[in-house]
Chains A and B, each alone.
Chain A
Amino acid sequence: MKFARNVLLFSTITMTAMSASAQDLRIGLQSDADVLDPDQSRSFVGRIVYASLCDKLVDITPDLKIIPQLATSWSWTDDGKKLTLKLREGVVFHDGTPFNAEAVARNITRSQTMPESRRKSEVSSVESTTVLGEYEIAINLKQPDSTLLAQLADRSGMMVSPDAAEAAGADFGLKPVCSGAFEFVERVAQDRIVLKKFDDYWNKDAINFDTVTYLPIPDNTVRLANLLSGDIHILDRLAATDLQQAKASSAVNVTSAVSLGYQGLTMNIDNGEQANTPWGKDKRVRQALSYSIDREILNNVVFNGAFAAGNQAFPPNSPWYDKSHPIPERDLAKAKALLAEAGYPNGLDIEISVPNTNVPTQVTQVVQAMAAEAGINIKLVTKEFATLLADDSAGNYQASQIGWSGRVDPDGNIHQFVTTGGGINDSNYSNAKVDELLNAARQFSDPEKRQLSYAAANKILQDELPIIYLYHPTWIFGVTPELSGFTTYPDGMIRLENVKFEK
């Protein structure tokens, strides 16, 4: 006990010493970011770095409301085909270039036309931009697009210095120039990304660190050890299995928010030969599988209850969740009856592809055990993740345990997965009514109308189950008690405004 107290004292002293001097904030990330160019970026963890490096036109609140960042206000025309933004004055990029309507126009063009751009689909509804003044710009759309603002709250809305971007071309990510609270200093791949405070930041009074260092530490145990030993101050994605240990330690504060993403079983409905099974052709067997699963128990067994059970593309706490279809109770009798009705009273076999990492394997094993009681024999086919992606895309699977990191706008979680010809519709599911409803939801600017569309589509999806949703991960952060002001967001980003070391 005395030993523990000494350790605690020691760590407190060292941390206080650290905070008194350099004000360097060290953040342990679960993995290394990819290329640091918002237009080329594709990794989740890259976005965590952008949260300090690149300001966006708009931002979100923890309850998913859109709020001003570089745009101070905005308005839609009644036909929903024109978005006018008023821009913040006195903002400069890290290279000194002033931020204005011209810069916004060039940024949108870059997202749309740069060959390497991964943002094309996000801004595909934009037809043109009109510079209305130094600090006012209109975005003209091909058709109404209610998802656009949410896209501008993410990478599509991140403003890079247009001159620097033009000069660097595809190599911009090697030395990114944005307008965020911190500017780029250096990056050593797989080791660290260092940013320093930007002196001309428009909101610099809210920033309390001289430098921020992001350290990719993939091993969960080692990342936690770094937090416990005081080597890092914020830990990205604490493993649910480490939750008890972290909560028991006085050197760690745990804070969390249910994410926007989901995990589930994508069923191969009509993607190639392997769809020619009862699993692809008969919704009753899919319903039976869904009824055989107790999602709460799954959450308790694999995640210590720290995640959120789910049955839709949006988590139950989301404003878009359809409350008329709550998480179904496990019902073995019903599952067996459905199987019998479909002509399989003695049960049925299925192969589920699983990424060869701990969590997906454990999840599928729990599902396997539950489904077995209904007479469904699950065979796990573990695959390395890149292989799984390629196989899912090519239709080499019956069912696949896979998920989605989630988007602020509900459209991003559902449209491309279940509409005919959707970009990630690996199950090749197609239902004209669902297409119609989800396309309509894109165009309504009235949230209530959108809500009704999503609920109507969900009703069909709950019956046909191209994706059997299982759970929604929770972003769990470990934070040193010396830090105050840290807030978790459902997008899992680390925002540093008003976060500081307590003296």
Chain B
Amino acid sequence: MLSFVLRRLLIAIPTIILISVFVFTLQKLLPGDPVLAMAGEERDPQVLEYLRNKYRLNDPIFIQYINWIGNAFVGDLGISLRTNQPVLELIMEKLPVTIQLAVIAILIALVIGIPTGILSAVKKGSAVDYCANAIALSGLSIPNFWLGIMLILLVSVRWQLLPASGYVPFFEDPLKSVSVMIMPAFVLGTALAATLMRHTRSAMLDVLKSDYVRTARAKGLKEQTVVLKHAFRNAATPIVTLTALLFGELIAGAVLTEQIFTIPGFGKLIVDAVFNRDYAVVQGVVLVTAVGFILMNLLADVAYVLLNPRLRSSS
């Protein structure tokens, strides 16, 4: 097991290097001059030149990359061109926010997605199945931003039940923190719930057709035990992988959701950074996200092995 994890970690290294090169060069291809974007309405040529030198934007791109990755290796991701804050500090400030959002969203997705998936597989072809499918389909097709705005107008403006937007740190005021987070997490979670529901349904349908399920039923087990204990456990493997992969989708979804609900998280950090040509921040955020994504996949693989004993010998 340990050697399996180590091997996977080694494979991850060239991937991360490749990503870092990619992020760095792609960003340099962006049109627009970061110094001009920084200068805003004031454009003193002397200041522009000073800033170019300060942030070493006049160096050849290769040297710039080596400098950046070298510093990144020891945990220094540079400072934000816009606010002068260290990038690492910004990331550490935003990461918990997005993780909190992601965790609540995943919980909502799991709570909605898995039971409805199981239910519609068990009641295949019934009204329940069609209903669940219709809901899933709308969950997939309703755009995040529309659902977000509608919820704000209804829940916050009309009913005045929840705050319209913003963020409160969890440890400052847990209740308020969750109450602010619940709408964005719901918006983010519903799309994921739909995907989860569809996959749970098809995985369950496959498993329910298998011989051992028929055997279990023939033994006279209660249908509930057959479905939840025997069938679902096997169907769960692909669902775990999917949930890990959804992490990527979650970050992508968070970009939009955080923008709408003004949540100072990762997604908002990167969008604002791109528009302000805040190179150091964009690079830092993408690098950290990529590493996070690779780790999530690794975690999924490990969970996979734990769930499915047959994979253990081959690992």
Contacts and interface: CB of A to CB of B under 8 A. Distances in A.
Contacts, number: 141
A390 interface: yes
A43 interface: yes
Given A116-B50, A170-B84, A405-B41, A222 B165 contact: yes
Interface string A208-241: 0000000111110110011011110000000000
Contact of B166 (A191, A228, A390): A191
Nearest to A407: B41
Interface residues of A, number: 51
A171 B43 CA distance: 21
Contacts of B165: 217, 222, 225-226, 231
Contact of B32 (A34, A171, A188, A390): A390
B264 A191 contact: yes
Interface string A368-392: 0000000000000001111101110
Contact of B260 (A35, A121, A174, A222): A222
B167 A191 contact: yes
Interface residues on B, range: 35 or more
A383 B38 CA distance: 18
A7 interface: yes
B44 A173 contact: no
Contacts of B149: 221-222
Contacts of B46: 120
Nearest to B47: A118
A219 B42 contact: no
B272 interface: yes
A389 B153 CA distance: 36
* Chain A contact residues: helix, strand, loop or mixed: mixed
A173 B80 CA distance: 12
A294 to B, nearest CB: 29
Nearest to B166: A215
A305 interface: no
B264 A393 contact: no
Interface string B138-151: 00000000000100
A115 B54 CA distance: 10
Given A190-B269, A386-B275, 9 more contacts: A42-B40, A191-B264, A221-B153, A231-B165, A389-B32, A391-B31, A393-B36, A423-B43, A423-B44
Interface of A: 7, 10-11, 14, 32, 34-35, 40, 42-43, 115-118, 120-121, 170-171, 173-174, 188-192, 215-219, 221-222, 225-226, 228-231, 383-387, 389-391, 393, 404-405, 423-424
The 3 A-B pairs at the shortest CB distance, nearest first, are namely A42-B40, A191-B264, A386-B32
